[in-house]
Structure 1
Amino acid sequence: MKKIYSTILLLAMMVAALSLTACGGDDDNNDINLKQDYDILQVNGVDYACYGYRCIITYSSTWNKTKNSGEILLPCGKLSDAKKGEYDYDYMYGIKLEGSKDLKQGSKLEEYSLQFDSSEDYYHKYNYTSGSATVAEIRSDEYITIKFDSFMVSNKEGDSYVLNGTVQLDFDED
Structure 2
Amino acid sequence: MSRFNEHGLTAQQEEFAVAVAAGSSLSDAYRQAYPRSLRWAPETVHEAASRMAASYKVKARTAALRAAAAKASTLEAARVLDEIAKLAHSDVSGIMHPDGRVKLPHELDAATRAAVASFEIDANGRIKYRFWDKNAALEKAARHLGLYEKDNEQQATPIRDMLASLGGKVIVPKKSHGDRQEPSGASSE
**Normalised by the size of structure 2, how large is the TM-score?**
0.22
- Greater fraction of residues in strand: 1
Q: Which has the higher helix share?
A: 2
Taking CA–CA contacts closer than 8 Å with sequence separation of 6 or more, which of the two structures ends up with the larger relative contact order? 1
